[in-house]
């Protein structure tokens, strides 16, 4: 209700920290504003007045006074912080009379006029929607005229001129005088904050970060007494993190500017000072700041992101919130805070934002290979990771190209909130101005995008679409690689290396391992990915797709031969060759996963998927006809005939999976034999191999029975041939609705179930993934017909219910039946939560998601535990 900012201010006040007096208009009022046809509730302004009077009493100043005017800031703040997404108005209450009062009272006319011009610009921009550029141009001209570089060097005279020009800009835009009455200004400002909630930037941000109404519903408005960091050289404003958000180091990190106000630090207008310099420049403030950081961390048990202002030596806090950090920072602070006894291990696990951990599993520059690439320029490393792409200067163009799948690096002098859409689609961001807390840096870090800022040697020319460094010119479209970990920009595509898990990450994984109940397996089709998965902590393979092996270059030819075979004998001859290859593949994978279950799915896709597509074949024939190459024509026609024969209207529900296995039994026979012999060979060599044969697309127990007979025959013949018992289980995927509904029958003949939630989701929704995602799903999400893409996050109500039916039926027959999930959902944190609660034995996720799955499983267990204990407590009391 108070929004994050309001709650933080209230809490800091309660802790006795120096917060300027103020009040908060709740998010409820914002909702009333919207349900009221975008009108402020009638009583609001009289309430506001009462609160202003309270502030007047506390500060001894008066709103609108020409002697000692009270000025306020009007700030937005939703439940979830959306940094830079909505605008703040500073110095509200100034007009042509009060500015004179402020000048007199402060004996500092320069400061008063500086505050006034800031007010006019922000008010003009936020309330009237006037383009920032118009104001910036005036400011630049004034600096030029006075021959100074920095806004803090502008004198009273220049500032007065700026104010008068700013007013003209506003009045030309409005067609009427600028509002002088402070209460009118306040009313307009409050309304503007409410409006900004539905502004494009805010809406896009919420969409991208999946901030739904249950998470944040409307913005609050905070009205806060102004304190002035622009009152001279004993005044300053700054932003600090209580720990380094880039790597988690326990040392305050941030920047400040002397004689500045508001967003100057973030905007990159002047280059801010590193916070350490404050120890020399304003030593008392520095000590105060350090103590405050410690106090806030102790209280919130989370590293904080703080805004402070010093007014003539007096220290004020303007904001605190939990610091957004990159993944390395999150992990390190989790481990450190446990060591410092600030938080428990449980909290250390729960506070991790899983999607963010993906960053750690991102690539970095190859330190050896990079020596062969010229570094063009170096800037400030602002967000780690390596990214390659073509240089694009224009934000719209970057968005367009990025959405078309082109890898772009957005290159700008600085960025503003309206540029954020380009961040989402760019591989990385490079700016020539700004520091580590500049807009570009903060946003990129939040998104885990590699970013370099403050690359001041780079001179950008937007018009000519080029940048220059040391007289060398680089044009838009050139390929560069940026290293967000050390700030280097390279020409060309520098090779990168895959990430490694740090010691801190391992520590967290160890804790998570002990906490979780769910097993974690990998979706892996090759020995390499299986190896990676095992290293990342996977205990087994939940899905090994055999067709991926046929797609490898040396196999595809054989597989196509198999499909083209006209007789069973012909087909068996080819399959014999394939069997040798499959067996060796299986052996390698089983060996890598020694000691754990490896679930191998028999052939699933329809056969035509392995043939060239029909159109392509027709084109080829035309071409050969032109060249008159008869042999080629005949050969291609054969392919065309077969492709037409096998073509399907709806392949998703067509001749695939067990249906192929039954109609072309020699294929499954070959695969089963390859598995049996692989296990046999390994077992003979004392390798603890344990395979699970999984049949896809089963809808009816009779299908399974049919295949099972074949399996049993091959297994027992292999066992007697090798004279050993094979550790192999037989089971099925559950991905057909009918199979779920008859899971009790199916359980009788299987040793395990594995939910194939991709197909199951398609079946439950009755739409195909490709068509959905390609055509209507984006609009469904935009219009909130669906809140999430059900192919990414399990549809708990629909697909989940069906799963629960199947689980119940399956377990009614075999209480200890092994049940897992192997769809893409196996790596999605929310879906993992569902799987934990539904009592599944394991989830299977793609190799690079394994660490995330492990932590998600631990979080699921902890959340379940805490809700259980919460619901138990009241019972005890009774």
Distance CA 692, CA 544 (A): 10
Residue in the block written with tokens 């989940």 = 800
Stretch that binds ligand ADP, among 83-91, 451-459, 619-627, 865-873 (CB under 6 A): 83-91
224 binds ligand ADP (CB under 6 A): yes
Residues 6+ apart with CB under 8 A from 771: none
262 binds ligand ADP (CB under 6 A): yes
> What residues does 62 pair with on adjacent strands?
69
> Which of ligand ADP, Mg ion, none has residue 326 at its interface (CB below 5 to 8 Å by kind)?
none
Rounded to a whole number of angstroms, the minimum distance from the CB of residue 533 to ligand ADP is: 41
Nearer Cβ to ligand ADP (126/843):
126
309 binds ligand ADP (CB under 6 A): yes
Q: Give the number of other Cβ atoms within 10 Å of residue 634's Cβ.
A: 11
263 binds ligand ADP (CB under 6 A): yes
Per the annotation, the verdict on 822 as an active-site residue is: yes
Rounded to a whole number of angstroms, the minimum distance from the CB of residue 196 to ligand ADP is: 11
Number of residues forming the site for Mg ion (CB under 5 A): 2
Please write down the long-range contacts of 332-335, taking CB distance under 8 Å and 24 or more positions apart: 332/247, 332/248, 332/249, 332/504, 333/243, 333/248, 333/250, 333/303, 334/504, 334/508, 335/504, 335/507, 335/508
Taking residues 709 to 738 in sequence order and writing x for each that binds ligand ADP by CB under 6 A, - otherwise, the string is ------------------------------
Residues in the chain: 878
At 519, which helix (H) or strand (E)? strand 519-523
Whether the CB-CB separation of 865 and 519 falls below 8 Å is answered with no
Whether the CB-CB separation of 462 and 484 falls below 8 Å is answered with no
88 binds Mg ion (CB under 5 A): yes
Rounded to a whole number of angstroms, the minimum distance from the CB of residue 671 to ligand ADP is: 59
> Which of ligand ADP, Mg ion, none has residue 654 at its interface (CB below 5 to 8 Å by kind)?
none
* Nearest CA-CA partner of 849 in 868, 823, 870, 872: 823
* Nearest CA-CA partner of 671 in 655, 695, 704, 701: 695
State the burial class of residue 779 (Cβ atoms within 10 Å of its Cβ: 0-12, 13-18, 19+). Answer: exposed
> Which of ligand ADP, Mg ion, none has residue 238 at its interface (CB below 5 to 8 Å by kind)?
none
Rounded to the nearest 5 degrees, what angle is found at the Cα of 167, between the Cα atoms of 133 and 269? Answer: 35
Stretch that binds Mg ion, among 7-15, 88-96, 336-344, 707-715 (CB under 5 A): 88-96
Nearer Cβ to ligand ADP (88/359):
88
115 binds Mg ion (CB under 5 A): no
Instruction: Quote the tokens at residue 283.
Output: 């030593």
Stretch that binds Mg ion, among 82-90, 140-148, 384-392, 637-645 (CB under 5 A): 82-90
Active-site residue, from 451, 822, 835, 848: 822
Please write down the long-range contacts of 534-540, taking CB distance under 8 Å and 24 or more positions apart: 534/592, 534/593, 534/596, 536/501, 536/847, 536/848, 536/850, 536/851, 537/509, 537/513, 537/850, 537/851, 537/854, 538/847, 538/850, 539/596, 540/593, 540/596, 540/597, 540/598, 540/599, 540/842
Rounded to a whole number of angstroms, the minimum distance from the CB of residue 86 to ligand ADP is: 7
Rounded to a whole number of angstroms, the minimum distance from the CB of residue 264 to ligand ADP is: 8
Taking residues 141 to 170 in sequence order and writing x for each that binds Mg ion by CB under 5 A, - otherwise, the string is ------------------------------
Question: How many helices, marked H, and strands, marked E, lie in the chain?
Answer: 36, 32
Nearer Cβ to ligand ADP (52/821):
52
> Which of Mg ion, ligand ADP, none has residue 703 at its interface (CB below 5 to 8 Å by kind)?
none
Nearer Cβ to ligand ADP (320/697):
320
Stretch that binds ligand ADP, among 222-230, 277-285, 333-341, 729-737 (CB under 6 A): 222-230
Among 185, 219, 235, 237, binds ligand ADP (CB under 6 A): 237
Across 263-286, b (16+ Cβ under 10 Å) vs e yields: bbbbbbbbbbbebeebeeebeebb
Q: Which of the residues 161 through 190 are near ligand ADP (CB under 6 A)?
A: none
Taking residues 55 to 74 in sequence order and writing x for each that binds ligand ADP by CB under 6 A, - otherwise, the string is ------------------x-
> Which of Mg ion, ligand ADP, none has residue 224 at its interface (CB below 5 to 8 Å by kind)?
ligand ADP
Rounded to a whole number of angstroms, the minimum distance from the CB of residue 419 to Mg ion is: 15
> Which of ligand ADP, Mg ion, none has residue 262 at its interface (CB below 5 to 8 Å by kind)?
ligand ADP
88 binds ligand ADP (CB under 6 A): yes
Residues 6+ apart with CB under 8 A from 860: 516, 518, 832, 833, 835, 836, 837
> Which of Mg ion, ligand ADP, none has residue 20 at its interface (CB below 5 to 8 Å by kind)?
ligand ADP
Q: Give the number of other Cβ atoms within 10 Å of residue 417's Cβ.
A: 18
Among 165, 307, 669, 759, binds ligand ADP (CB under 6 A): 307
Q: What share of the chain is helix, strand, coil (3-state, %, to 5)?
A: 55, 15, 30
Active-site residue, from 30, 170, 293, 439: 439
Per the annotation, the verdict on 439 as an active-site residue is: yes
Alpha helices, H only, 306-380: 327-339, 345-350, 354-357
Q: Is 593 helix (H, G, I), strand (E, B) or coil?
A: coil
> Which of Mg ion, ligand ADP, none has residue 237 at its interface (CB below 5 to 8 Å by kind)?
ligand ADP
Number of residues forming the site for ligand ADP (CB under 6 A): 18
Rounded to a whole number of angstroms, the minimum distance from the CB of residue 594 to Mg ion is: 54
CA atoms in the 13 A half-sphere facing the CB of 119: 32
CA atoms in the 13 A half-sphere facing the CB of 244: 13
Among 186, 189, 192, 227, binds ligand ADP (CB under 6 A): 227
Nearer Cβ to Mg ion (88/383):
88
Nearer Cβ to Mg ion (126/560):
126
At 658, which helix (H) or strand (E)? helix 658-663
Stretch that binds Mg ion, among 210-218, 317-325, 340-348, 469-477 (CB under 5 A): 317-325
Stretch that binds Mg ion, among 86-94, 281-289, 345-353, 579-587 (CB under 5 A): 86-94
75 binds ligand ADP (CB under 6 A): yes
Rounded (10°) angle between helices 701-722 and 665-684: 40
Distance CA 237, CA 229 (A): 5
> Which of Mg ion, ligand ADP, none has residue 359 at its interface (CB below 5 to 8 Å by kind)?
none
114 binds ligand ADP (CB under 6 A): no
285 binds Mg ion (CB under 5 A): no
Residues 6+ apart with CB under 8 A from 111: 102, 103, 228, 230, 231, 232
Among 319, 432, 488, 847, binds Mg ion (CB under 5 A): 319
90 binds ligand ADP (CB under 6 A): yes
Nearer Cβ to ligand ADP (89/533):
89
Rounded to a whole number of angstroms, the minimum distance from the CB of residue 87 to ligand ADP is: 7
Nearer Cβ to ligand ADP (269/857):
269
Q: Give the number of other Cβ atoms within 10 Å of residue 591's Cβ.
A: 19
**Phi, psi angles (nearest 5°) of residue 567:** -125, 160
226 binds ligand ADP (CB under 6 A): yes
Instruction: Quote the tokens at residue 673.
Output: 């034999």
Among 318, 395, 447, 728, binds ligand ADP (CB under 6 A): 318
The DSSP code for 272 is P
Whether the CB-CB separation of 232 and 27 falls below 8 Å is answered with no
Instruction: Quote the tokens at residue 747.
Output: 């359980």
Active site residues: 439, 822
Residues forming contacts to Mg ion in the complex (CB under 5 A) are: 88, 319
Residues forming contacts to ligand ADP in the complex (CB under 6 A) are: 20, 73, 75, 83-84, 88, 90, 224-227, 237, 262-263, 307, 309, 318-319
């Amino acid at each position: 209700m108070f929004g994050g900012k309001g709650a933080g201010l209230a809490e800091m006040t309660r802790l006795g920290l120096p917060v300027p007096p103020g009040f908060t208009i709740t998010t409820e009022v914002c909702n009333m504003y919207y349900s009221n046809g975008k009108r402020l509730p009638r009583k609001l302004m009289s309430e506001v007045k009462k609160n202003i009077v309270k502030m007047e009493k506390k500060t001894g100043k008066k709103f609108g006074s020409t002697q000692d005017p009270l000025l306020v800031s009007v700030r937005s703040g939703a439940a979830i912080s959306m940094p830079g997404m909505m605008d703040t108005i500073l110095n509200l209450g100034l007009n042509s009379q009060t500015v004179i009062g402020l000048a007199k009272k402060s004996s500092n006319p320069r400061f008063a006029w500086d505050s006034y011009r800031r007010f006019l610009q922000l008010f003009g921009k936020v309330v009237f929607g006037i383009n920032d550029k118009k104001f910036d141009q005036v400011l630049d001209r004034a600096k030029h005229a006075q021959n100074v570089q920095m806004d803090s060097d502008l004198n009273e005279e220049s500032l007065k001129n700026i104010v008068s020009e700013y007013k003209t800009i506003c009045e030309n835009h409005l067609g009427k005088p600028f509002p002088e009455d402070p209460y009118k200004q306040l009313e307009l400002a409050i309304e503007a904050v409410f409006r900004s909630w539905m502004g494009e930037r805010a809406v896009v941000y919420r969409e991208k970060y999946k901030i739904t109404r249950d998470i944040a519903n409307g913005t609050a408005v905070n009205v806060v007494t102004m304190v002035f960091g622009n009152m001279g050289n004993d005044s300053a404003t700054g932003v600090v993190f209580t720990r380094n958000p880039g790597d988690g180091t326990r040392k305050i990190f941030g920047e400040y500017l002397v004689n500045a106000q508001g967003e100057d630090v973030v905007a990159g207008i002047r280059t801010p000072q590193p916070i350490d310099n404050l120890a020399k420049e304003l030593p008392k403030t520095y000590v105060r700041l350090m103590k405050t950081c410690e106090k806030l961390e102790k209280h919130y048990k989370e590293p904080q992101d703080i805004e402070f202002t010093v007014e003539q030596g007096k220290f004020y806090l303007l904001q605190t919130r939990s610091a957004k950090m990159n993944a390395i920072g999150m992990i390190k602070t989790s481990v450190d805070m446990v060591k410092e006894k600030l938080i428990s291990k449980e909290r250390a696990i729960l506070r991790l934002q899983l999607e963010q951990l993906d960053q750690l599993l991102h690539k970095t520059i190859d330190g050896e290979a990079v020596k062969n690439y010229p570094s063009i320029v170096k800037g400030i490393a602002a967000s780690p990771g390596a990214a390659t792409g073509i240089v694009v200067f224009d934000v719209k163009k970057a968005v367009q190209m990025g959405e078309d799948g082109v890898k772009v690096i957005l290159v700008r002098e600085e960025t503003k909130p309206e540029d954020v859409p380009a961040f989402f689609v760019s591989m990385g961001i490079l700016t020539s101005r700004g520091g580590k807390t500049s807009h570009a840096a903060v946003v990129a870090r939040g998104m885990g995008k590699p970013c370099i800022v403050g690359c001041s040697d780079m001179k950008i020319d937007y018009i000519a679409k080029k940048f220059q460094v040391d007289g060398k010119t680089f044009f838009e479209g050139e390929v560069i690689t940026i290293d967000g970990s050390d700030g280097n920009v390279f020409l060309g595509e520098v090779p990168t290396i895959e990430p490694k898990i740090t010691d801190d990450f391992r520590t967290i994984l160890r804790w998570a391992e002990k906490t979780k109940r769910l097993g974690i397996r990998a979706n892996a089709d090759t020995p390499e990915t299986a190896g990676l998965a095992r290293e990342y902590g996977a205990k087994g393979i939940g899905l090994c797709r055999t067709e991926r092996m046929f797609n490898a270059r040396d196999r595809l030819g054989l597989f196509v031969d198999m499909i083209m075979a006209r007789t069973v004998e012909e087909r068996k001859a080819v399959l014999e060759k394939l069997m040798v290859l499959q067996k060796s593949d299986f052996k390698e994978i089983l060996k890598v996963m020694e000691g754990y279950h490896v679930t191998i799915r028999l052939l699933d896709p329809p056969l035509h998927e392995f043939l060239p597509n029909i159109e392509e074949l027709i084109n080829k024939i035309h071409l050969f006809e032109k060249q008159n190459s008869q042999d080629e024509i005949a050969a291609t026609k054969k392919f065309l005939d077969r492709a037409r024969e096998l073509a399907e209207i709806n392949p998703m529900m067509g001749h695939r999976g067990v249906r192929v296995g039954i109609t072309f039994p020699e294929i499954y026979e070959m695969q089963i034999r390859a598995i049996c012999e692989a296990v046999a060979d390994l077992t003979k060599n004392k390798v603890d191999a344990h395979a699970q044969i999984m049949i896809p697309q089963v809808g009816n127990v009779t299908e399974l029975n049919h295949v099972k007979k074949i399996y049993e025959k091959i297994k027992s013949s292999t066992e007697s041939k090798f004279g050993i018992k094979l550790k192999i289980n037989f089971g099925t995927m559950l991905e057909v609705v009918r199979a779920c509904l008859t899971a009790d029958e199916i359980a009788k003949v299987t040793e395990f179930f594995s939910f194939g939630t991709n197909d199951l989701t398609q079946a439950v929704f009755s739409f195909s993934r490709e068509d959905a995602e390609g055509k209507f799903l984006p609009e469904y999400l935009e219009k909130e017909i669906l809140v999430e893409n059900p192919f990414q996050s399990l549809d708990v109500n629909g697909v989940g219910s069906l799963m629960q039916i199947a689980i119940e039926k399956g377990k009614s027959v075999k209480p200890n039946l092994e049940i897992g999930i192997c769809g893409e959902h196996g790596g999605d944190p929310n879906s993992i939560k569902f799987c934990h609660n539904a009592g599944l034995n394991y989830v299977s996720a793609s190799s690079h998601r394994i660490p995330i799955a492990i932590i998600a499983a631990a979080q699921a267990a902890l959340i379940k535990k805490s809700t259980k204990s919460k619901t138990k407590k009241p019972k005890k009391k009774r």
